[in-house]
Chain A
Amino acid sequence: MTVRDLGYRPYEGARLPASRNTSVMLRHALRRAWASWMVKVAAFISWVPFVFGCGFWMLQFWFNNQMAQQGQAAGDMGEAGAQMVFATLQWTVWLLGFLVTIGAGASAVAEDLAHDAFAFYFSKPVTAPQYLLGRVGAVAIWLFALLAIPGIALITVIAGASPADIRLEQLGLLLPLLIHSLFVSVVLSFLSVGISAFSKSRALTMTAWITLFVIPGVLARIVEEVGDWPWLKLAAVPSLITSVGAALFKIPGESEIEWYFSVPILVVSSLAAIYFAAQRVTKAKVIQ
C-alpha cells in the first residue's frame, strides 16, 4: 500500500515533561475530591471545634483570672491547653477523617474502575504510580488541611490567651499537631484509597471502609467496657490513631494501647493497602 504523507503540522510550542503529570493528577484529584458534598461538609464543620475550643478557653482563662484574684490556686493551663487540642483533634479525626475518606478516598479508584476511566489517563503519558499518587495525595492534602489549619488557629488563640510564662509552651503544641495531622492524613488516605481499589462497585468499597473504620472501634469499646480487655483496639483504626495522638501530646492514661504497638500496625496496613491498590491499577491499566 502506498502511504501518503500529507505533511503533519505539529504543535510548535513547548511541552512540559511527563514527570510533571504527578502534580497535574494531584490537582485534578483535588478538584474531584472537592466535588464531593461530604468534603464540603467536612470543610465547614472543621471549624466548629475551633469556635467551641476558643469559647471554652476564654471561659477558662477568665475563670482562672477570677480564682487568682481571689487568691485561690488556678488550674494548670499548660496541661489544659494540650488536653484541649488533643480532645479537639480526636473529635475531628473521627468525624472529618470519616467524611473526607468516604467522600474522596473510599470511592476514588472504584469510580475510575467502574467507568473504565483509565483509558483516558493512560492513553496520555501518565504512569500508574503517578495516577495513584494523585489520588492518595488529594485525600491526604484535604485531610491535612482540615485537621491542621483549624488546629493551628486554635493553638494560636490558646497561646494568645494564656499567661505570658506558658505562652511558648502552648505554641510548642504546634509540632505534635502537625506531626499528628500528617500521620493521620497519610494513614487514612492510604487505607481508604487502598480499599477503594478492591472493587468496581463504589457502594461496596464505601461500605467496606465504613465497616473497617467504625465496627472494630465500637466492638473494641464494648469489649473493653464489658470484659476490661483493651487489645481489640489494635484492630480499630481510630483507636490506634488515638494512641499515637496521646503519645504525641503526652496525655497520660488516654489510651491503654501504647504508640509503639499502634504505629507499626498502621504503617504496615497502610503500605499493604497502597501496594494492593498499585497492583490493581497496574492490572487494570495494562494486561501484560
Chain B
Amino acid sequence: MSASIRAIRCSKWYGKVTALQDVSLHLGPGIWGLLGPNGSGKTTFMRICAGQLRPSLGEVQICGERPFNNSKALAQIGLCPEADALYDQMSALEFVTAMARLSGFSANDAEKRAKASLEEFGLEDAMKRRMGGYSRGMRQRAKLAQAVVHDPKVILLDEPLTGTDPRSRATILGALQRKAADGAVVMFSTHVLPEIEAITDQVLLIARGQLVAQGKVHEIRSLLEEHPHHVRVFTAEPRRLAALCVDIEGVVAMSFAPGGVEFMTYDPAATYQTIARKVVEHEVEIDSITSPDASLEALFHYLVERAAHGAGTGSDAGVGRARSLQQANPRTQNAPHPEGQYAQQNYAPGEGQ
C-alpha cells in the first residue's frame, strides 16, 4: 500500500464542542501544510491521524489502515508532537534509540538508525549530551529525529518549527524535503504561514474544525475570484491620490490605511497600471505600492473569516451550528476540480477502499 492519509467524513466532538467537522481528504506522497489558527482543530486532526484519538464520526485511514489501537498502522506513522516533552536527563541518542526500539528494531539496528536520524537533523555532535542542555531548536530536531527514525510512510509534524533558529529551520526543512522525495506523506501543521510557503505550496486550510480549502496556493487563489484583491499605496498625500483614483475601473472600495490608501479591486493588474499612470501624470509622491494579497497570509485570513461567518465550531468557538464552506458559499460547490481539490470533498463511506 502506498503512503497515504485518507479522511472520510471525519468529525470529533469533545462533549458539546465540535473540534473537527466532516473533514474528508486524500493525501498522497509529498509535503502538505496544514494551516489554521490556534484552536482550529489541527492538533485534533493530527492526533486522529496518529491513532491517539478515535473520531466521533467517520474514519481516518493511514496507508489503508485505521490507526486507532492498530499496531500495524502505528508502525507506519511518525509523529512529532507539539509538546516539548523530552527527558532532560537522557541524551538524544538514548531517547531516539528507545523510540526506534519501540518501533520494532533490535538494539543494534535501533542505535544505528538513531545515529543516522540524528545526523540527518544536524545533531551529530550533540547526540550524546543530555537533552536538558539543548536549545529549543536542538530539542525540536531531536523530536523530529525520533519521528522519522523508523522510516515511517506518514510523517505528522505538529508545529515543528516553533522556536527554531534559521539554521535549524533550514536543516529541518531540508530533511523533510528528502523524506517527501523518498515517497513519504509529510503533513506539517502550523499557524505561521511563511513556514509553509518555505517548504510547499500544497496546503490544507482548516478553520473552526472545518477544512475550508485544499490544494495549491495559486489554485486556491484563482478559486477566490469573488474575493477582491487589496492594493496598498503608501504616500504622504493620501487624500489627493484617493481623489485621483476614485474612478478606476474594477475598484470597488477605497479606504485610508496608515501611511496611505488601500484599494479593493477585482482587476488588480489594471488597477496597478492605472495607479502608476496617474501617479506619474499628476506627480504624486509615493513610497511604495504593495499588495497584502501577495502573501498567503491574506488568503488565510480571508478563508478563516469566511468560515467563521459560516460556521460556529472548533475548540475556540464553543457550541454552535456549523455549515460547510460549500453551504456557506454556493459558488464553491461547483468549483472545478482539475488537479487540486478546493474546499471539501464528500466521500461516500468506503469509497476508494
Contacts and interface: CB of A to CB of B under 8 A. Distances in A.
Interface in A122-137: 122-127
A121 B90 contact: no
A31 interface: yes
Interface in A59-75: none
B85 A124 contact: no
Contact of A286 (B2, B68, B106, B339): B68
Given A5-B28, A115-B85, A125 B102 contact: yes
Interface of A: 1-11, 13, 15-18, 20-21, 24-25, 28, 31-32, 35, 112, 115-127, 285-288
A124 B102 contact: yes
B201 to A, nearest CB: 14
B232 to A, nearest CB: 34
A1 B104 CA distance: 34
B83 A115 contact: yes
Most buried by B among A17, A115, A119, A124: A124
Contacts of A121: 102
24 contacts: A1-B26, A1-B340, A1-B341, A4-B30, A6-B29, A6-B30, A8-B182, A8-B183, A16-B104, A24-B98, A24-B102, A116-B81, A116-B83, A117-B85, A119-B47, A119-B52, A119-B83, A120-B99, A123-B52, A123-B74, A123-B77, A123-B156, A127-B69, A285-B52
Contact of A124 (B2, B74, B84): B74
Contact of B51 (A7, A24, A122): A122
B266 to A, nearest CB: 28
B205 to A, nearest CB: 15
Contacts of B156: 123
B151 interface: yes
Interface string B153-188: 100100000000000000000000000011110000
Contact of A6 (B99, B106, B181, B339): B181
Contact of B103 (A2, A15, A112): A15
Contacts of B51: 122-123
Contacts of A35: 87, 89-90
Interface string B65-87: 00011011011011101011111
Interface string B35-49: 000000000000100
Given A285-B52, A286-B52, A116 B106 contact: no
Contacts of B87: 32, 35, 117
Given A3-B26, A10-B151, A125-B103, A287 B14 contact: yes
Contacts of A1: 26, 28, 214-215, 337, 339-341, 345
Interface of A is mostly: loop
B185 to A, nearest CB: 9
Interface in B1-22: 2-4, 14
A8 B103 contact: no
B101 interface: yes
Contacts of B72: 125
B341 A18 contact: no
Contacts of B94: 31
Range for the number of chain B residues in contact with chain A: 35 or more
Nearest to B88: A35
A49 to B, nearest CB: 28
A13 B146 contact: no
A21 B74 CA distance: 13
B29 A5 contact: yes
A4 B30 CA distance: 8
Nearest to A37: B89
Given A1-B337, A115-B83, A287-B14, A9 B105 contact: no
B150 interface: yes
Contacts of B53: 286-287
A255 B35 CA distance: 66
A273 B53 CA distance: 25
A16 B94 CA distance: 19
Query: 8 tightest CB-CB pairs across the interface, nearest first?
Result: A3-B28, A15-B104, A125-B71, A119-B81, A116-B83, A123-B79, A115-B85, A8-B183
A7 B2 CA distance: 7
B50 interface: yes
B2 A8 contact: yes
Given A119-B47, A123-B77, 10 more contacts: A3-B29, A5-B2, A5-B29, A8-B182, A13-B109, A16-B105, A28-B98, A35-B87, A119-B50, A126-B102
Contact of B54 (A3, A127, A286): A286
Contacts of B71: 18, 125
A104 B85 CA distance: 18
B68 A25 contact: no
A32 B341 contact: no
Contacts of B52: 118-119, 122-123, 285-286
Contacts of A7: 2, 183
Most buried by A among B52, B102, B109, B339: B102
B13 to A, nearest CB: 10
Contact of A8 (B79, B153, B341): B153
A11 B117 CA distance: 14
B245 interface: no
A21 B183 contact: no
